[in-house]
Structure 1
């Protein structure tokens, strides 16, 4: 029996997907628990917002450095240590006696998640020697992202209602233990390690500061305003340290991230598409609960049911995408996915205050979920296939950093538009036009300049 068909390989995929599900679920699982946290631990609105935002900040800010360390020291070791750290920090969150302590452990959770994420793709890449089987596995991996993000509020609501807010963190403990045991027994990494020619400390620090500054600015822009002092200063810090990072990496003999990778059109377009896809998917996913509850008067339960078509069709498309890539390559699924997402986003412009019938919204919601998830695995595979051996972790980190930033931009910009407009629906329509136009742009540049991988 070939290695790709073995029980060991399937259990490796299970371990990787469980770990990936856990860190993606934690992006959204705490939202519904915030009122209970405030009641027991105290803290003003700003502190409660940082219970959510602290995780995103370190998650996005440390991805590039984590990917480099994965390449140098090995994906299995980084994945295992990341899962252990994430599990321990989850325990710390559950036992936090004050909101400030909870925020501290959420920062540690985000840092651990940054270590875990790039290793998941590296482990899949090294575990599957057959390209077709690898593409199918990455399709499953990508489907987990949509399921994890959208199931977070549902799982969080159930756990908080029956067991208290601590349960949204303690739920990670049994998952983490299972992943640790599976990793120790079944996970092997056959990926070639990247030779360490020195530690690029200036590149590491400038990369961390630039990404963390951008993440902070985008998180705070929706709350403080785009031209508030802290937001403007954060954007300036991002630009300054981004220039330092690029200059350092260009001149370094042992760069953390070789800048010449961006000279590869397929890599650059795939990374940009990752940002475009998440801008639309997560930006719209952020608006939908507000629309259904505030504008159409749905209950929390009905809102959860109303949103289901988007993640449900996303899971289906991820499964289809891996198989499609195995047969026709990466270019066609990306073009088709972005085009379908664009149609869904423009069709959502039919939304009004109390019209149309919800049943007419199922088609655009399904198209957005299906299109984004059809393109994402293909873009992921295109990114990995363009990289030389030993650089899978840093390539994965760059792609996932782009995805994280895209999601943050979508939430920040779309949130600002609906807040600034006196008419929520008008702000939502502007957001949909931006998302649809971005998808169209990605579709065009992919068709014109991207090679089929």
Structure 2
């Protein structure tokens, strides 16, 4: 075990050295995997503003409506880690292509769905496709770009594609729903998917773990999937079903047991799915933890700010979505700038600076009330988006550059799962805080909009406090280590 990890770690240590001529098609390969990433992130929230229209069209119940949104996230979060491991074992290009085909075909099925069952099933299959291709994309970038400076730039562009997809989801969904037919929020993925597939066939080269017979670690695959499925299900359904209800308590218990069994299996496995020694590397653990901190605060506030814009300020879905577009451009611009910042002041300082900007943006946002305007909110979201952009690239680098090549797919999956689960956890906890204050205000006679605003402000302060703590956490945890990676994994 030790020798295999040392040999894999030696590959990481030598990553910066060019062992072979750079792939002449590497930038086209980056474009292909970035387009695929853009699609999967777009589909995380493109459906939100189309929900009322879909409900009327398909005559759906409230429960069915919720599962149209939740089914995609449930299969995505539940299978990401398994997808990363399969990519490392069987080839990143192979799993990426399979995932892309599944995602494109299920998008076609979702767009043509004539009833709720077909749409929910198609969304679940979309999540499977996204879970296979998403971790493979970052692993492909890591193996394709052998020069560290180029890799940093490539990861920056990949981050931009994800952020733009996430931010454009609401406005894209709103414009399509209002002007065409709701099915086209999924059908637009089909031509993009076909073009991406054709481009990938020509430009994406195969890579996999250096061990020729890498074990699948079936026990790790199964227990990780069970743990992630059940915790995601509990966080999605807990508020509506009741946190003390039998099915939610059971889901949490199953998740806890599966997690304990997973770690026990990984600690004893000869070829573990996730080598637990990776977490001895401070920068690796710091990067994963940083992802969770910003996702907990940032994604939750993204969710509740959308509600604030529509429920308190009376914005239409399209106008609310449009406000997030400058935020996406700020994220993209600062993500590109962060590659320069990382070279000037170091990755750990750059991430901390991003946390500072996020904290300032959240404080600015919290100064607004029911009289806020599009123009007054714009600077807040630009600062917030800039903070997210400037920290994401060096944070991702901290994880991927401290990961043996054999575990690149799993590391990418861990990063993505950390974001999804922490984002759900943030929505749950901040949402509970918001609703508690909201209900208190309603009982005291406040109007519904004022009650929501009071709860929203409390939720903002919770997110602000967490991100502010993250400033110091990232500064310490992401500081470069004096020890070589092989020594820490041996």
Shift of 1:194: 4.3
Shift of 1:192: 4.5
Q: 1:193 to 1:329 in 2, by over 3 A?
A: farther
Matches within 5 A, 1:50-449: 50-190=67-207, 192-355=209-372, 358-420=374-436, 421-422=438-439, 423-449=451-477
Q: Does structure 1 conserve the Cα–Cα contact (< 8 Å) formed by 2:171 and 2:317?
A: no
- SS of the aligned residue for 1:298 comes to coil
Q: Does structure 2 conserve the Cα–Cα contact (< 8 Å) formed by 1:210 and 1:237?
A: yes
Q: Does structure 2 conserve the Cα–Cα contact (< 8 Å) formed by 1:74 and 1:193?
A: no
Moved more, 56-65 or 290-299: 290-299
- SS of the aligned residue for 1:390 comes to helix
Q: Does structure 1 conserve the Cα–Cα contact (< 8 Å) formed by 2:174 and 2:317?
A: no
Listed one character per residue, the Cα deviations across residues 264-323 of structure 1 (whole Å, up to 9, x for unaligned) are: 111111001111112222111111221122112223333233333422211211111233
Listed one character per residue, the Cα deviations across residues 29-53 of structure 1 (whole Å, up to 9, x for unaligned) are: 1122222322232220111111011
Listed one character per residue, the Cα deviations across residues 413-451 of structure 1 (whole Å, up to 9, x for unaligned) are: 333333332321222122212212221222212222333
Moved more, 222-231 or 178-187: 222-231
CA distance in 1, matches of 2:117, 2:314: 34
Structure 1: 5+ residue stretches without partners: none
Q: 1:221 to 1:34 in 2, by over 3 A?
A: same
CA distance in 2, matches of 1:385, 1:139: 14
Structure 2 length-normalised TM: 0.87
CA distance in 2, matches of 1:325, 1:196: 37
Q: Does structure 2 conserve the Cα–Cα contact (< 8 Å) formed by 1:293 and 1:303?
A: yes
CA distance in 2, matches of 1:210, 1:128: 33
Structure 2: 5+ residue stretches without partners: 1-19, 440-450, 482-490
The structure with the largest alpha-carbon Rg is 2
Q: How many residues are matched?
A: 450
Structure 1 length-normalised TM: 0.94
